[in-house]
Amino acid sequence: MKAEFLTLFEATKVLVTYIDKEYVFDKASAGGCSGMDYHLSDKFYDLIVNARKVINDVENGPKDSDTDGKASVRLLEAAKALTTHIDKERAFDKVNDMGPVGVETYQSDALIEVVQNTNKALQEAENRLKVSE
């Protein structure tokens, strides 16, 4: 993989791992006896699965320059789609039960930092691509 994409690859991998381990959701709704139900929208789920597939392809795929270039572009697109969705849909990993008022969903400082790092790596990769063209 080209050097300009290594940081993006690592940042995307950290983001997907964080989403998996810290239970990041983008939807909350009333959930019967339990009170609230937190889940992934189909779109968010598909974006996560796609990012996992791209990460796996980069790690285990062929290392020739043509395939490597395509994988790098797919990585850029997958990371951008995932971070855009998290920002736009206000995906969350923390919930504050406020009693009769309801619940508040929010992003922890850790999730915010992981997303910011991925966005920074995306920006750097895009800038390097523009310079090399």
| Tens-place pLDDT, residues 65-115 | 666 678 888 999 999 999 999 999 999 888 887 877 777 888 999 999 999
State pTM to two decimals.
Answer: 0.84
Enclosing H/E stretch for 8: helix 3-22
**Residue from 2, 24, 11 nearest 78 by CA:** 11
- Helix/strand/coil for 90: coil
Residue 96: beta bridge partners? 104
CA distance to 22, 58, 99, 112, per residue, from 93 (Å): 7, 27, 19, 10
Q: Which two tokens stand for residue 103?
A: 């619940």
> What CA–CA distance (Å, rounded) separates 95 from 82?
21
Q: Residue 132: which pLDDT band, with cuts at 50, 70 and 90?
A: low
Give pLDDT tens digits for 4-59. 789 999 999 999 999 999 989 888 776 655 566 777 889 999 999 999 999 999 88
